[in-house]
C-alpha cells in the first residue's frame, strides 16, 4: 500500500490506476506551467505557494475556488509537479497540517 510516510514516487500507470479509485490529484505547478505544458486530466491546480492556505480553507470556500470537494485529512491525495521537488514539499505541508 502507498503511504505518505514513504513519500512514494508513482509511475504514470500507477497514477492512472489510482485516479480510477477517486484519488484527489493536486498539481502544484504554477498556472503558467499548466498553460504552457498542459493540464493533467482530472487534476486540480493549486500552485505550491497557495497550498498551505488552500488545505486550511473552509470546505465551501475550497469548492468555490477549486471546483472540487475539499479533501478530508484521511482522503487519499496525490501531488504532482514537473520534477518531483515541489510535490515532495507539498506532501510535507499536507502532513504538517495533519493529513495522513
Let me know if 3 is a catalytic residue.
no
Catalytic member of 28, 51, 55, 81: 81
Spatial contact of 19 and 42, defined as CB atoms under 8 Å apart: yes
Q: Taking Cα atoms as reference points, which of 29, 67, 69 lies closest to residue 45?
A: 29
- The dihedral region occupied by 62, where left means phi > 0, alpha psi between -120 and 50, and beta the remainder, is alpha
Which helix (H) or strand (E) is 24 found in, with range? strand 24-27
Spatial contact of 97 and 57, defined as CB atoms under 8 Å apart: no
Q: Enumerate the active-site residues.
A: 81
Amino acid at each position: 500500500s502507498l503511504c505518505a510516510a514513504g513519500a512514494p514516487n508513482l509511475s504514470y500507470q500507477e497514477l492512472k490506476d489510482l485516479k480510477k479509485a477517486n484519488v484527489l490529484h493536486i498539481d502544484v505547478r504554477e498556472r503558467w506551467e499548466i498553460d504552457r505544458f498542459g493540464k493533467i486530466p482530472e487534476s486540480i491546480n493549486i500552485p505550491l505557494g497557495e497550498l498551505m492556505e488552500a488545505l486550511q480553507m473552509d470546505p465551501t470556500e475550497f469548492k468555490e475556488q477549486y471546483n472540487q470537494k475539499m479533501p478530508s485529512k484521511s482522503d487519499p491525495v496525490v501531488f504532482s509537479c514537473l520534477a518531483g521537488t515541489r510535490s515532495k514539499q507539498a506532501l510535507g505541508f499536507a502532513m504538517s497540517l495533519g493529513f495522513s
